[in-house]
Chain A
Amino acid sequence: MQLDDLYQEIILDHYKSPRNFRQIPDDEAMVDEENPTCGDHIKLIAAVEDGVLSDVKIQCEGCAICTASSSMMTEKMIGLKVAEVRGWIRDFTEMMRGGPDLPEEDLDDLMALRGVKKYPLRIKCATMAWHALEDALKQLGA
């Protein structure tokens, strides 16, 4: 079977077993965002300790790209300094919008999402979690 260039094994893996996901009650969610065009829905909470993003939890009802991007983001971002996280959010969303590719060795699993930029209608799916994390950081005043 010919594999789609966007849907690689690793995306399917994160879609089926997303990391750092759990049910988040409405009153606990720091960010609650819905993409009105497709119904993708993300709730997110984050915690910062001593300038480091110590935890992120996500509840996502969305497509494989949205779910995988959320899951990969949590794996990559937890444990980084807030300033580094901000840099990642900027560079990753920029890359999705057609900006420069981040180095392969930095991206790890996120490499699989580089194909998204070829599909303008899917970019929102891949960047939704990242914008949600950005909102959460703002709320934390971090």
Chain B
Amino acid sequence: MAHTRHTGKPALDPARVRSEFPVLSRFVRDGKPLVYLDNAATSQKPALVIEALDEYYRHYNANVHRAIHHLAEEATTRYEEARTVIGSFIGAENPREVIFTRGTTESINLVAHAWGRKYVGADDEIMLSEMEHHSNMIPWQLLAKATGSRLVYIPVLENGELDLDAYRERLSSRTRLVALTQMSNVLGTINPVADMIRDAHRAGARVLVDGAQSVPHMPVDVKALDCDFLAFSGHKMCGPTGIGILYAKEELLETMDPFHGGGEMISKVSWHEATWADLPHKFEAGTPNIADAIGLAAAVGYLSSLGMDDIHRAEQALTAYALEALRTIEGLRIYGDAANRGGAISFVMEGIHPHDISHFVDQDGVAVRAGHMCCQPMMKKFGHPAMTRASLYLYNTRDDVDRLVEALERVKGFFNRAT
């Protein structure tokens, strides 16, 4: 249920929110109204984001930071405004700390190269949790191989929470970095990152927070968390694909080497050497993704106008409703029972493969995800190479959940028939 806040601001109205996303009025598979429950993979886009992209290309498309002409001035202003807007959204008041990337994956790779290769040595450890997405695992595997450092894992408990005792025990003076998701894309678990960051800092380690699943769904404030790095993607938060953010503390960015070399990121260039541009441009080689940066700022403006607190509260209520409804299905088991959790709900059904489940519910217009969700080692640990995942967002309703449950009952009915 949506709440009314004391300010008198109207609570989130899903019907109104839905009407702002053109694709949600689509019909799929021979006339079934679309029920979109694959939001942890990517979210849909409101009309105002699509219009912001359209407006950029129609009215002021130009390269940024170079030419002295009217369009270039407009494009540069809007691009840098986007940086400020997105920075404020995550509590980063200093736009020099906000780097545009292609997405979470590139943001993490940037840190692994530009910071990791310089500051992680052969005797050092990088600590990850077992619930990390491959994008917050493979860059560190590559770094460990290149530097001779070692990966240390924080175990996931049976209920989907992290083993915090093990975490504190394994932190040591050798721990150079803790790379940690704020919300699991499989289990939905919301990790107590603020506390974990305090522990890591006490041990002298830096912390990278993977915010791909958290930033779209709850208020995230880099100053309150005191994280050293925060990575997230635009496309999971109503923004375009191909744009994301790396937030990093200025003192770290200053001492890091560049990631990519090229235009835009230099100050002076001679035949054999160069000096780097000031932050944040030192980390933005080449023509940036101007349109999508502006589109992401539009998405952030949209989310802010609704209020991240309200979005989070509405999603929490819908998640509770969905968990209860799914648990009524006999033979269905949900993985992820953390006390604090978000709306990514993964489950298995006895004797029915996730592929078949997702195919069946798709015939009813319900879009869910099936597979290992880019968390292969953890899925193996839980004994299922694949699961089915329904993931919620601000435009989902109880009706969407009911449609999913009906579709799952239909799958079960088919597979459980005697043959």
Contacts and interface: CB of A to CB of B under 8 A. Distances in A.
B414 interface: yes
B419 A12 contact: yes
Interface residues of A, number: 25
Of the listed residues B360, B415, B419, the one surrounded by the most CB atoms of chain A closer than 10 A to its CB is B419
A62 B353 contact: yes
A13 interface: yes
Contacts of B5: none
Contacts of B360: 4, 7
Given A4-B363, A7-B414, A63 B419 contact: no
B356 interface: yes
A7 B354 CA distance: 14
Interface string A58-72: 000111111100000
A41 B371 CA distance: 12
Contacts, number: 58
A9 B414 CA distance: 9
A16 B419 contact: yes
B356 A63 contact: yes
A91 B206 CA distance: 56
Contacts of A6: 359
**Majority SS at the chain B contact face:** helix
B355 interface: yes
A38 B370 contact: yes
Contact of A63 (B353, B372, B379): B353
B371 A12 contact: no
B385 A1 contact: no
B410 interface: yes
A39 B358 CA distance: 14
Interface in B346-379: 353-356, 359-360, 363, 370-372, 376, 379
B356 A61 contact: no
Nearest to B360: A4
A41 B386 CA distance: 11
Given A64-B356, A65-B356, A39 B414 contact: no
A115 to B, nearest CB: 11
A39 B376 CA distance: 9
A37 B419 contact: no
Interface string B282-307: 00000000000000000000000000
B8 interface: no
B383 to A, nearest CB: 11
Interface of B: 353-356, 359-360, 363, 370-372, 376, 379, 385-386, 410, 413-415, 417, 419
Interface of A: 1, 3-4, 6-7, 9, 12-13, 16-17, 37-41, 61-67, 119, 122, 125
7 contacts: A1-B410, A12-B414, A12-B417, A17-B419, A64-B355, A65-B355, A65-B356
Given A4-B359, A13-B419, A62-B353, 18 more contacts: A1-B410, A1-B413, A4-B414, A7-B359, A9-B419, A39-B371, A39-B376, A39-B379, A39-B385, A40-B355, A61-B385, A63-B353, A64-B353, A64-B415, A65-B356, A66-B353, A122-B359, A125-B355
